[in-house]
Structure 1
Amino acid sequence: MAPPTHAKQWTVEGQNGFDSLKLNDKAPLPQLGDKDVLVKIHAASLNYRDLIIPKGKYPFPIKDNVVPGSDGAGVVEAVGKHVTRFKPGDKVVTLFNQGHIAGSLTPASLGTGLGGAVDGTLREYAAFDEHGLVHVPQNLNFAEAATLSCAGLTAWNALYGLESRALKPGDTVLTQGTGGVSMFALQFAKAAGATVISTTSSADKAELLKKYGADHVINYKENPNWGEEAKKLTPGGLGVTHIVEVGGPTSMAQSLKAVKIDGVISIIGFLGGFSKDQPSFLECLNNICTVRGVLVGSRLQFEEMNRAIEANDIHPIVDEKVFDLDHLKDAYEYMWDQRHFGKLTIKVA
């Protein structure tokens, strides 16, 4: 059956908070270029960046009236005449930076982020260059697959992106909280045979972290010096090999206290906000560690991650509450109020 000529899509019009999200019931379907793939989106998932874009707090360039959403999974409906990687009926998931195929980011590929620099996934149909998609892992449904594009790949890059320091069995990994990236990092680390120390702010979430495999859980509200505590929990008290730093400036001082000599701190967010008291670059020298910024990852890394997901039958942790496309603003509010656990998904098709 041929796709319709019009479909639903959301756009971000202005920076007035979630009221800037506008639904168009009759948006024309995108034109298909020779190397493009038309995808019927079945599911999408939300990230923190999606919430701050309509609030005007996103620190990177944004296209006017952009279609939001970076993460989406669906079925190929049609392909351009020069497409070789996909055929109609294939199940696919989006790459965040559409131009980041392998190796390091470049200034050009940095400007290809879905839902910010280019139109994203919160719509019924979307066209993508064939190089900006990967096949859905065979063990996942659409909602699970739709969580991989940002949170999954960011966690994978944090643990494996620095090849000389890639995660190995016996390493210790520190994760923070119960957001998407942290939960993926917990799952990937356990599958690799690592020990995981997790931090959280509540007893309920501590139990959930243990359920998903955390070896040790520290309540950072009860123990503000959680970095020193984490270090004590490592073999010989030598420190943590990999720290997945999602808090940013407000938690960095404790991460530096926890890290092992030659350990890696991967900064992937600033959920904790900003602080004038954040550590200086000298602290990296004092602790003899590597601190790196991570912006999602490449298609090559995505394909590596998907092979590991299939081999270990890893299933992303998805919040039990699912919103439909019409109620997107409610989903944004639900996530902004931090009522979710794991990844929050949107049913599109």
Structure 2
Amino acid sequence: MKCYELQGPGGIDALALVDKPVPTPARGEVLVRIAAVSLNYRDLLTVKGGYGSRQKFPLVPLSDGAGVVEAVGDGVAGFVPGDRVIGSFFESWTGGEPSETKMRSALGGAVDGTLTEYRIFPAQALVRTPPHLSDIEAATLPCAGVTAWSAVVKLGGIRPGQTVLTQGTGGVSIFALQIAKLAGARVIATSSNEAKIARLKELGADVTLNYKTTPDWGKYARDITKQGVDLVVEVGGVGTLNESIRATKIGGTIAFIGVLAGAPASELRLPLMVMQQQRLQGVTVGSVDDLQALANALALHQVKPVVDRVFAFAEAREAFHYMSSGAHVGKVAIALG
């Protein structure tokens, strides 16, 4: 089988296409023929050397993949060859609260990922692909989809009639918009690009803001809601946290996910967060149970992920470069075979 390996520092163009034997599933394991994978910002950071000395080499990158069961090991009762499946981001976190042990097995980081033609998964780390989704669409769920689900539903507790603010048009933000609308919430969505803002409106955003022309978007969001939003899906990190604090109502939540915006332009408004009893909730993907819950919700409402562009397996490096450009809305995917 062919797979891509990060064999050392060197960035996107250093990804090596190598040949390896197709593995055989042991007891409790499932061999999956990978049909599609998708990219996340974390994968881009990994390939570009953003994790420094903690980076495992060699490494098969990417956490997200969907495909078809090729073979099963002894003791596997839940899957048979031909089943369409999705692999979970954390193989050891099947459910319940997170722990160091459960979060030690992140695909494409601590262990080899999905940018390969075949991969072995523990049976308990797989969920069935919703019938209405293609393999490419299904491959977008494990990281970005589950992160957004955790931020909005599991940890954010959003209910009908509440307001959610999302930032940008990346995978997590678009999923958060879709999931918030499923929950009956009002969505305020931001972007710096008018074409992308038009797309956000098409996807159901109730209010859109250009954060370049409205740099005090947090104040604006608070003004138009009269009290502030119930939840901010914070993918910018400390660089956008001040405006997120301004946007969030007393007792509201900031789901802290990403680091896209860099350093803050001024001192963080942490005293304001304290005075308003806001909750800063870290979000790192979720469990197999969370992936299943997301898949069930999308199937029930027949919602499809937003896939911006699909590359061929031979174009994997080009896919990374395209994601790095920031031109995408939603997910960037790679089709195998």
Q: TM-score, normalised by structure 2?
A: 0.97
1:61-105 deviations in Å (ceiling 9; x for gaps): 432211111000000000001112211111101100111111222
Q: Which residue of the partner structure matches residue 214 of structure 1?
A: 205
Structure 1 residues 263-302: aligned runs within 5 Å = 263-275=252-264, 277=266, 279=268, 281-302=270-291
Q: Which residue of the partner structure matches residue 196 of structure 2?
A: 205
Structure 1 residues 171-190: aligned runs within 5 Å = 171-190=162-181
Match of 1:307 among 296, 312, 318: 296
Corresponding position: 1:11 with 2:14: no
Letter aligned with residue 183 of structure 2: A
Q: CA deviation at 1:191?
A: 1.4
Letter aligned with residue 121 of structure 1: T
Q: Which residue of the partner structure matches residue 29 of structure 2?
A: 36
Aligned residues of 1:14 and 1:54 also touching (Cα < 8 A): no
Aligned residues of 2:169 and 2:328 also touching (Cα < 8 A): no
Q: Residues 68, 224 of structure 1: CA spacing in aligned structure 2 closer, same or farther, 3 A cutoff?
A: same
Give the Cα–Cα distance (whole angstroms) in 1 for the partners of residues 136 and 30 of structure 2.
Answer: 20
Q: CA deviation at 1:231?
A: 1.0
Structure 1 residues 136-285: aligned runs within 5 Å = 136-162=129-155, 166-234=157-225, 237-275=226-264, 277=266, 279=268, 281-285=270-274
Aligned residues of 1:15 and 1:53 also touching (Cα < 8 A): no
Q: Where in structure 2 are there 5+ consecutive unaligned residues?
A: none
Q: CA deviation at 1:283?
A: 3.8
Q: Which residue of the partner structure matches residue 3 of structure 1?
A: none
Aligned residues of 2:47 and 2:61 also touching (Cα < 8 A): no
Give the Cα–Cα distance (whole angstroms) in 1 for the partners of residues 87 and 307 of structure 2.
Answer: 18
Corresponding position: 1:342 with 2:330: yes
Q: CA deviation at 1:17?
A: 1.2
Q: Percent identity?
A: 44
Give the Cα–Cα distance (whole angstroms) in 1 for the partners of residues 73 and 255 of structure 2.
Answer: 38
Match of 1:63 among 33, 56, 69: 56
Give the Cα–Cα distance (whole angstroms) in 1 for the partners of residues 138 and 208 of structure 2.
Answer: 28
Tell me which moved more, 281-290 or 207-216. Answer: 281-290
Q: Residues 277, 103 of structure 1: CA spacing in aligned structure 2 closer, same or farther, 3 A cutoff?
A: farther
Give the Cα–Cα distance (whole angstroms) in 1 for the partners of residues 125 and 21 of structure 2.
Answer: 21
Aligned residues of 1:49 and 1:58 also touching (Cα < 8 A): no
Give the Cα–Cα distance (whole angstroms) in 1 for the partners of residues 112 and 25 of structure 2.
Answer: 14
Letter aligned with residue 22 of structure 1: A
Q: Which residue of the partner structure matches residue 87 of structure 2?
A: 94
Q: TM-score, normalised by structure 1?
A: 0.93
Aligned residues of 1:241 and 1:259 also touching (Cα < 8 A): yes
Q: Give the 3-state SS of the residue equivalent to 1:292 in structure 2.
A: strand
Q: CA deviation at 1:307?
A: 1.0
Give the Cα–Cα distance (whole angstroms) in 1 for the partners of residues 304 and 267 of structure 2.
Answer: 35
Q: CA deviation at 1:304?
A: 1.1
1:132-176 deviations in Å (ceiling 9; x for gaps): 1111112101010000010100000001222xx511100100000
Letter aligned with residue 184 of structure 1: F
Q: Give the 3-state SS of the residue equivalent to 1:14 in structure 2.
A: coil
Tell me which moved more, 267-276 or 197-206. Answer: 267-276
Q: Give the 3-state SS of the residue equivalent to 1:75 in structure 2.
A: strand
Aligned residues of 2:242 and 2:269 also touching (Cα < 8 A): no
Match of 1:332 among 312, 320, 327: 320
Q: Give the 3-state SS of the residue equivalent to 2:238 in structure 1.
A: helix
Corresponding position: 1:103 with 2:96: yes
Q: CA deviation at 1:209?
A: 0.4
1:179-219 deviations in Å (ceiling 9; x for gaps): 00000111111111110000110111111100000000010
1:240-289 deviations in Å (ceiling 9; x for gaps): 01110000010000000000111111011101123373526434312211
Give the Cα–Cα distance (whole angstroms) in 2 for the partners of residues 118 and 50 of structure 1.
Answer: 13
Q: Give the 3-state SS of the residue equivalent to 1:344 in structure 2.
A: strand
Q: Provide runs of 4+ in structure 1 moved above 4 Å.
A: none
Q: Residues 316, 15 of structure 1: CA spacing in aligned structure 2 closer, same or farther, 3 A cutoff?
A: same
Q: How many residues align?
A: 337
Aligned residues of 1:243 and 1:264 also touching (Cα < 8 A): yes
Q: Which residue of the partner structure matches residue 70 of structure 2?
A: 77
Q: Give the 3-state SS of the residue equivalent to 2:101 in structure 1.
A: helix
